[in-house]
Chains A and B, each alone.
Chain A
């Protein structure tokens, strides 16, 4: 049982490049989330999907787009990467909105 799987684990981009971070969960959870973690800032919510077919903005959505491809997969896209997007990105899922979150191990992104 893999839980929440994020790919890639590490990525280096040049300013202006685009990329998609992938997230998949095998727990049949309804809700999925994308967070970024910066030193001293804790985790900040980028986007979330309460259920398949819906997505909503979190605290820091600017510069990102998301797709809830199906119940298992929730991807995060950076259309034009900026150095300010250098961070560790975590995907999480939960059975419902009122239950514990299960996290992946993160994607470390550096934008130069």
Chain B
């Protein structure tokens, strides 16, 4: 079964608006990562946030992590048409001894020009 589940499954917004997508997971983690996938391509890493961090920024991206609720959110501010892609969260399995990253089912974001 999937460790992470993204919400919503699909999101359509106008250029310039903010986009928020959420990720919930089931077991304790060492860190959580967000990735972007453009159609037909491999995934590209966006941000890694560790379990002892609560918030992280990278350019127009802001990621929060709430380990008590086992959830994370990715905020893209001032969205652009080029942000149209699928976004995935990935979590590892804390205490497994190795980092086995499990991905969620993704959020498909469409930014309308």
The finding on whether chains A and B are genuine partners in a shared complex, rather than unrelated, reads yes
B residues in contact (CB < 8 Å) with A = 2, 30-31, 33, 35, 40-45, 48, 88, 90, 92, 98-106
Q: B41 — nearest CB in chain A belongs to which residue?
A: A105
Smallest CB separation, A90 vs chain B (Å): 6
Stretch of A13-21, A33-41, A66-74, A77-85 lying at the B interface: A33-41
Interface on chain B toward A: helix, strand, loop, or mixed SS? loop
Q: Please count the residue pairs between chain A and chain B whose beta carbons lie under 8 angstroms apart in the complex.
A: 61
In the bound complex, residues from chain B placing their C-beta under 8 Å from that of A48 are: 98, 100
Q: Are B42 and A106 within 8 A (Cβ)? A: yes
| Residues of chain A lying within 8 A (CB to CB) of residue B88 | 42-43
Q: Given the complex of chains A and B, what is the CA–CA distance between A36 and B92 in angstroms?
A: 17
Kindly report which residue of chain B lies nearest to residue A51, judged by CB atoms.
Answer: B98
Is A25 part of the contact surface with B, judged by Cβ < 8 Å? Answer: no
